[in-house]
Amino acid sequence: MRPHRRQNGLTLVELLVAISVLAFVAVLGWRGLDSIVRARVALTDDLEQTRGMQLAFAQMQNDFAQIVTGPSLPDRVPLAIDQDRVLLIRKEYAENQPSRLQVVTYQVKNGVLTRRESEATRDLVELDELWTAAENGVDTGQDVALQSGVAAMTMRLWDANGWGAPNTNPAAPATPKGGLAGSRLPPGANPASGNPAQPTNQAVLTGLQVALQLKERETAMLKVFMLGAV
């Protein structure tokens, strides 16, 4: 009789075990790769949001540093704050030209922080018209998107008594007829409009804190600006 010779190769059971092990390793590898990709996407989105916030705050810092102060605007208010909106009058400089004034509006609309500026002018009557148009949302300036995913924008003002809400400024002049309590409207403004922005007496204000609350974030991002720092 010939001796029984063992056949080479894997049995069906051994093959099934090997396939199961390879499948398990593949699943682990896929989950690990998926976690890495998700983390990278989240990190990229976070970096983009941070970069967008830095650019937005840098633009705000430039505008608030150029806000008009002193006797340049007699009987006018260069700063007005409303819910999710702030209006200001800033100086604008062009090469080989005298300084001019323009109205700048920051506003959160549909989750996007936008900036809009008016034409620059040296005519105070035209400036009043530009302010009124910006306050009523009928100005012809183009919105520039600065940051998306913004849930809200809140502001606080710094005066001799410390930080306070815009409508609690104790040093504001008397309220004109039809105006807002503790506020002063610039000439040409419409105090009877649906929800006018809250003007502030900038003579005693030196700082502004802006808080931007991003969606899906627990805490807001804060930035403090000097008013008329240059």
Write the pLDDT tens digit of every residue in 111-143: 999 999 999 999 999 999 999 999 998 888 899
User: Based on the structure, what is the number of domains in the chain?
Assistant: 1
Q: For residues 161 and 205, what is the distance between their CA atoms, to the nearest angstrom?
A: 10
With residue 157 as reference, give the H or E element that holds it: strand 150-159
Percent of the chain topping pLDDT 90: 37
Checking if the pLDDT of 89 tops 70, the result is yes
Residue 215 counted as domain residue: yes
Q: How confident is the model at residue 7, as a pLDDT?
A: 58
Torsion of CA 196, 169, 176, 188, to 10 degrees: -50
Burial annotation 108-146 (CB, 10 A radius, 16+ → b, else e): beeeebbbbbbebbeebeebbbbbbbbbeeebebeeeeb
- Residue type at position 72: S
Residue 75's pLDDT band, with cuts at 50, 70 and 90, is confident
Q: Regarding predicted confidence, which is higher, 142 or 72?
A: 142
Residue 18 counted as domain residue: no
Residue 71 counted as domain residue: yes
Residue 21 counted as domain residue: no
Residue 150 counted as domain residue: yes
User: How far is Cα of residue 49 from the mean position of the Cα atoms in its chain?
Assistant: 11
Residue 118 counted as domain residue: yes
Mean pLDDT score of the chain: 79
Give me the domain span that covers residue 59. 49-226
Q: Across 41-45, 95-99, 187-191, 199-203, which has the greatest mean pLDDT?
A: 95-99
Q: How confident is the model at residue 3, as a pLDDT?
A: 58
CB 68 within 8 A of CB 127: no
In tens, the pLDDT along 22-39 reads: 888 888 888 888 788 888
Residue 33 counted as domain residue: no
**DSSP secondary structure, 104-154, as one string:** EEEEEETTEEEEEE---BS-HHHHHHHHHHHHTT---PPPEEEEESEEEEE
Residue 165 counted as domain residue: yes
> pTM of the prediction?
0.70
| Helix/strand number for the chain, H first, E second | 2, 10
